Amino acid sequence: MLKEGTSRAEGRDAIHANITAALVVAESIRSSLGPKGMDKMLVDGFGDVTISNDGATILDEMEVQHPAAKMLVEVAKTQDDEVGDGTTTAVVLSGELLTKAQALIDKDVQSTVIVDGYQIASEKALEYIRKLAIKVNPNDKGMLKKVAKVALASKLLAEHKEFIAEMAVGAVMQVAEKSGTVFKADVDDIKVEKKPGGALTDTVLIQGVLLDKEVVHPGMPKRVEKAKIALINCPLEVEKPEFDAKLNIQSPDQMKGFLDEEEKIMRDMVNKIADSGANVAICEKGIDDVVQHFMAKKGILAVRRVKQSDMEKLVKATGGRILSQLEGLKPSDLGQAGLVEERKVSDDKMTFVEGCKNPKAVSILVRGGTERVVDEAERAIHDALCVVRDVVVEPFVVAGGGSTEAEVSRMVKAYSQKLSGKEQLAVQAYAEALEIIPMSLAENGGMDPIDSLMEVRARHQSKSKWVGIDPINGKVADLAKLDVYEPLAVKVQALKSAGEAACMILKIDDVIAASKSKEGGAPKGPKESGKEEGEGES
């Protein structure tokens, strides 16, 4: 019935194979969890090296092949897209849910019963974690900074977390906007530009937009204060006649007339810009040499071929309007910035549009010793920006260090007492799986995971809900007292996506895989059988 070469695994075998594959992935990143987690060095097919502690990045670079394992990679991606942090947590958690499920399957509990139990438990866990969360003020800079510092704790630039956290809070608060009683904030309004060279401490927040472009003509000013900026998205060129268009020029006079006409059009363009009061022109398209020359004569600083996304940020930062034609350009269309300046950053010239008044788009220029350092710094800053955004948008936090997972675990366990039979076992298994977070944090911090977990459990029994692991000092501690807070949104998303992925894998009881086609040439080969002949067509 199936094509030759197709492999098939059914029932328990299928589930077992899938769980095993997923666990390899979860286990591979567990040692990177938390402030004492290790980094991974990944080398791709071209020999390019990435060093990272970021779950999503590691999994992305690992180029996982197995379909079930890929589902965990998806968990990390979703987590990253939705909330920007907690990727390792989500993957480790789904791995542990699968480990516990495997143990139940070995005891003859059906996987459908486990899936049902996990779904009940997951709903309860979400209900409990929301009850547990602490409401904060979205304007509370101190709290936002604490949250940013925790997101940065496990990163390469942890020693500079104070300074980076401050910057992340500044950036998000600057672009956040109140709508009704809630805030909206989009990290896309924060442009993170990286340039290797200098030190991490040279990383700066710019109240405006940083363009990876130079001033277009050497005769133009390189620095314009109190800038009035024309944002243009039409080419500042004269349309050249088509290649084969016939120009009927019979005398040198006519030729001169023709060129004069062109020059006049271009001079007009520059006059329109200058007459509006603009002293800076930023153009999405090209600028003709002659136009550049006239602009330089008028003392206008110009930049060309700016990305559309940057043009949109310039609108948000400077308050200007994008013009698709110069006709009717008014002073009120112009954007404003305290300073526009071309500066040399490492070997490149960049244009800074800064000192904007209340900009709704800002930039961060990331510096650091080597390319790898700036790459990882950029990822860390991304996490910090995301967690600050998470709290600004949904102002609730929980304590970290696995304390929240331990408390939710206790509550779900208590709830399971109301159930009976195999369903109870599954709900309990879910509760126990949550404890992988404090256990892994302890293990990575060089503590005894079992002893630490016992102590955490005991203290939760006596109502200390924020007790968890302090890997930095190698102690069981109250994380709220240590100011280790994380966004509720991160934890909620981790619970959701971990549970969903685990259940999805548990529901698969039949894996039918076509044999690898020979085209594509990768000799990774079908392990299942030697039959790989003649299926080239179709």
**Catalytically active residues, by annotation:** 54, 87-88, 383
Stretch that binds ligand ADP, among 168-176, 224-232, 395-403, 499-507 (CB under 6 A): 395-403
Q: Which of 9, 19, 23, 34 binds ligand ADP (CB under 6 A)?
A: 34
Q: Which of 28, 50, 99, 154 binds ligand ADP (CB under 6 A)?
A: 154
Instruction: Copy the structure tokens of residue 231.
Output: 């944002």
| Residue 383 CB, nearest approach to Mg ion (Å) | 6
| Residue 337 CB, nearest approach to ligand ADP (Å) | 36
Instruction: Copy the structure tokens of residue 341.
Output: 């300046």
Residues 330-349, mask of contacts with ligand ADP (x by CB under 6 A) = --------------------
Q: Of the two residues 89 and 292, which places its CB atom closer to ligand ADP in the complex? A: 89
Kindly state whether residue 87 participates in binding ligand ADP, applying the rule CB under 6 A: yes
| Residue 54 CB, nearest approach to Mg ion (Å) | 8
Kindly state whether residue 88 participates in binding ligand ADP, applying the rule CB under 6 A: yes
Chain residues that interact with Mg ion, rule: CB under 5 A: 85, 151
With 0-12 CB in 10 A as exposed, 13-18 as middle and 19+ as buried, what is 119? middle
Kindly state whether residue 471 participates in binding ligand ADP, applying the rule CB under 6 A: yes
Q: Which of 5, 86, 138, 499 binds ligand ADP (CB under 6 A)?
A: 86
Kindly state whether residue 35 participates in binding ligand ADP, applying the rule CB under 6 A: yes
Question: How many angstroms separate the CA atoms of 173 and 423, rounded?
Answer: 46
Instruction: Copy the structure tokens of residue 424.
Output: 């109870």
DSSP state of 245: P
- Direct distance between the N- and C-terminal alpha carbons of the chain, in angstroms, rounded to an integer: 16
Stretch that binds ligand ADP, among 30-38, 94-102, 191-199, 523-531 (CB under 6 A): 30-38
Question: How many angstroms separate the CA atoms of 226 and 320, rounded?
Answer: 14
Instruction: Copy the structure tokens of residue 427.
Output: 């709900």
Task: Count CB neighbours of 401 within 10 A.
Answer: 31
Residues 234-273, mask of contacts with ligand ADP (x by CB under 6 A) = ----------------------------------------
Instruction: Copy the structure tokens of residue 203.
Output: 């990383």
Question: How many angstroms separate the CA atoms of 350 and 195, rounded?
Answer: 10
Kindly state whether residue 60 participates in binding ligand ADP, applying the rule CB under 6 A: no
| Residue 79 CB, nearest approach to ligand ADP (Å) | 8
Q: Of the two residues 150 and 211, which places its CB atom closer to ligand ADP in the complex? A: 150
Q: Judge whether 285 and 236 are in contact, CB under 8 Å.
A: yes
Helix/strand/coil percent split, the chain, to 5: 50, 20, 35
Task: Identify the bridge partners of residue 399 per DSSP, sorted by sequence position.
Answer: 485
Instruction: Copy the structure tokens of residue 12.
Output: 């328990």
Binding site partner of 380, from Mg ion, ligand ADP, none, Cβ cut-off 5-8 A by kind: none
Kindly state whether residue 89 participates in binding ligand ADP, applying the rule CB under 6 A: yes
With 0-12 CB in 10 A as exposed, 13-18 as middle and 19+ as buried, what is 349? middle
User: Within 13 Å of residue 67, how many CA atoms lie on the same side as its CB?
Assistant: 11
Q: Of the two residues 274 and 484, which places its CB atom closer to Mg ion in the complex? A: 484
Footprint (CB under 6 A) of ligand ADP, residues 423-452: 437, 441
Q: Of the two residues 72 and 281, which places its CB atom closer to Mg ion in the complex? A: 72
Kindly state whether residue 85 participates in binding ligand ADP, applying the rule CB under 6 A: yes
With 0-12 CB in 10 A as exposed, 13-18 as middle and 19+ as buried, what is 464? middle
Binding site partner of 395, from Mg ion, ligand ADP, none, Cβ cut-off 5-8 A by kind: none
| Residue 378 CB, nearest approach to ligand ADP (Å) | 15
Amino acid (1-letter code) at residue 66: H
Kindly state whether residue 387 participates in binding ligand ADP, applying the rule CB under 6 A: no
Q: Of the two residues 311 and 436, which places its CB atom closer to Mg ion in the complex? A: 436
Stretch that binds ligand ADP, among 2-10, 27-35, 130-138, 232-240 (CB under 6 A): 27-35
In this chain, which residue has its C-beta nearest to Mg ion?
A: 85
| Residue 512 CB, nearest approach to Mg ion (Å) | 37
Kindly state whether residue 95 participates in binding ligand ADP, applying the rule CB under 6 A: no
Q: Specify the 3-state DSSP secondary structure of 51.
A: strand
Instruction: Copy the structure tokens of residue 302.
Output: 């110009």
State the residue for tokens 């956040």.
176
| Residue 478 CB, nearest approach to ligand ADP (Å) | 11
Query: Nearest 5°: phi and psi at 430?
Result: -60, -45
Stretch that binds ligand ADP, among 83-91, 93-101, 317-325, 513-521 (CB under 6 A): 83-91
Question: How many angstroms separate the CA atoms of 506 and 501, rounded?
Answer: 9
Q: Of the two residues 31 and 424, which places its CB atom closer to ligand ADP in the complex? A: 31
Question: How many angstroms separate the CA atoms of 450 and 393, rounded?
Answer: 37
Question: How many angstroms separate the CA atoms of 21 and 26, rounded?
Answer: 9
Stretch that binds ligand ADP, among 189-197, 331-339, 368-376, 467-475 (CB under 6 A): 467-475
Q: How many helices (H) and strands (E) does the chain have?
A: 16, 21
| Residue 425 CB, nearest approach to ligand ADP (Å) | 27
Q: Judge whether 22 and 508 are in contact, CB under 8 Å.
A: no
Name the residue among 77, 72, 32 with its Cα closest to residue 51.
32
| Residue 87 CB, nearest approach to Mg ion (Å) | 7
Binding site partner of 428, from ligand ADP, Mg ion, none, Cβ cut-off 5-8 A by kind: none
In this chain, which residue has its C-beta nearest to ligand ADP?
A: 400
Instruction: Copy the structure tokens of residue 319.
Output: 């308050």
* Residues of the shown chain interacting with ligand ADP in the complex, contacts defined by CB under 6 A: 32-35, 37, 53, 55, 85-89, 150, 153-154, 400-402, 437, 441, 469-472, 479, 484, 486
